[in-house]
Amino acid sequence: MFRTLVSSKETNGAVSIFQHPDFDGHEHVLFGHDAATGLKAIVAVHNTACGPGLGGLRMRDYASEDEALRDVLRLSRGMSYKNAMAGLAHGGGKAVIIGDPTTARTPALMRAMGRLVDSLGGRYITAQDSGIRVQDLHALSETTAFVTGLRASRTPDGEPRTGDPSPATAVGVYHGIRACLQQVFGSPDPAGRNIAIQGLGSVGFRLAAALHGAGARLLVADIDAGRTRAVQEAFGARVLPIAEIHAAAADVYAPCALGGAINRDSIQTLQARIVAGAANNQLARPEFGTALHKAGILYAPDYVINAGGVIDVAAQLGDYDPADVERRVVAIGETLGEIFRQATLDDEPPEVVADRLAEARLVRPPPDPGR
């Protein structure tokens, strides 16, 4: 049923996998098509030195197959680094379905996607990402066991969980922000600090709640007026226009919407001394990280600070212990503290230090010559 395409010839000349700028030595890139359901999907497994690839399944109405390929390759590589730095026994992998989740997401499509995941024999374990709901994963789980993030449970503070990684991600980002405050201001306490949150979705809203609870003053923006209104009413947040949130007079700028928040334009007007949020790929280009470092702005490497969700879903593959998950998610703050200390010693941007630490874990040990 599925075909694996690996060459530019087979993909109509549109993309060349091995020469692709984001290929980065991927172990597997699997293109799957299922005629009966219309499934068009790509699974990418970047590195399995630490264990089977683990990363979410995203569904999006991509403008082109090339855009989908670029997205899955970058996300899969990012998961190798994220899982390595979170100390998980998992490598990096990710999957994307090309299609509009509002119209094309059916149980049959999810079951077909499950069969595609299953065809990799456990080298990739899937989970939830944008465009995919927990009930979609339940349909997918009918055709593969290589899926996590399905378990209903409660967080240690009693919040009901459905398998959604967002609550754990928000806890990790909150403790990451505390580590940043400690590094820059000598105290981790958010009380009285001005924190600008861009995006008040599953993670951003919970982050706002935690920071408000700790006495921070919130400045917020979201394209969804209902969300800003809710945060304004619940936490007394000040709402800023979308185009101004990055330039807010704040101690912390927390990008929790889309990637590329630190870009050629935003970096000119940034006022915060800390950039720390949930979004993936916050630096539009690596040189913007160097620019932040030179400007004395502390950047929390995105894949370190937003690893709470994957720590949570990885734990669901075994005997889930909420208290242990909480401890490991809170420890994201300690990991960041160590990265910041090393970055200060070496006078390097934190993301450069984090990449080096992660890459040391991504090297497969040489084969035992005796075997």
327: left (phi over 0), alpha (psi -120 to 50) or beta: alpha
**Applying CB under 6 A, which of residues 59, 69, 72, 203 lies at the interface with ligand NAD?**
203
Binding-site string for ligand NAD from residue 308 to residue 347, where x marks contact by CB under 6 A and - marks none = -x--------------------------------------
x/- mask, ligand NAD, residues 1-40, rule CB under 6 A, reads ----------------------------------------
Three-state secondary structure string covering 18-78: CCCCCCCCCCEEEEEEECCCCEEEEEEEEECCCCCEEEEEEEECCCCHHHHHHHHHHHHHH
What is the pattern of x (binds ligand NAD, CB under 6 A) and - over residues 112-151? ------------------x---------------------
Q: Which of residues 171-200 bind ligand NAD (CB under 6 A)?
A: 198-200
257 binding ligand NAD? (CB under 6 A):
yes
Q: How far apart, in whole angstroms, are the C-alpha atoms of residue 56 and residue 112? A: 16
Nearest to 254 by CA among 287, 285, 212, 226: 212
Distances, alpha carbon 150 to alpha carbons 56, 96, 139, in Å: 12, 18, 11
Based on the residue annotation, tell me whether 94 is a catalytic residue of this protein.
Answer: yes
Q: Which long-range contacts (CB under 8 A, 24 or more apart) does 132-135 make?
A: 132/56, 132/57, 132/58, 132/59, 132/101, 132/105, 134/162, 134/163, 134/164
Question: Does residue 260 belong to the site contacting ligand NAD (CB under 6 A)?
Answer: no
- Look-up: residue for tokens 């809710």? 230
Stretch that binds ligand NAD, among 92-100, 140-148, 155-163, 255-263 (CB under 6 A): 255-263
Q: Which is nearer to ligand NAD, 104 or 258 (CB)?
A: 258
| Complex with ligand NAD: residue 69 or 279, whichever CB lies closer | 279
Residue 173's nearest CA partner among 277, 71, 282 is 277
Strands 274-275 and 298-299: parallel
Residue holding tokens 């709901």? Answer: 133
User: Within 223-252, which residues bind ligand NAD (CB under 6 A)?
Assistant: 223-224, 227, 242
CB of 299 to ligand NAD, least distance (A): 16
Question: Which helix (H) or strand (E) is 104 found in, with range?
Answer: helix 101-104
Closest approach of Cβ 212 to ligand NAD, in Å?
17
Residue 253: name the closest of 234, 231, 269 by CA.
Answer: 269
Q: Does 92 bind ligand NAD (CB under 6 A)?
A: no
In angstroms, give the least distance from the CB of 136 to ligand NAD: 15
Residue 165 lies near ligand NAD (rule: CB under 6 A): yes
Does 306 sit near ligand NAD (CB under 6 A)? yes
Give residues in contact with ligand NAD (CB under 6 A).
130, 165-166, 169, 198-204, 221-224, 227, 242, 256-258, 278-280, 306, 309
Active site residues: 94
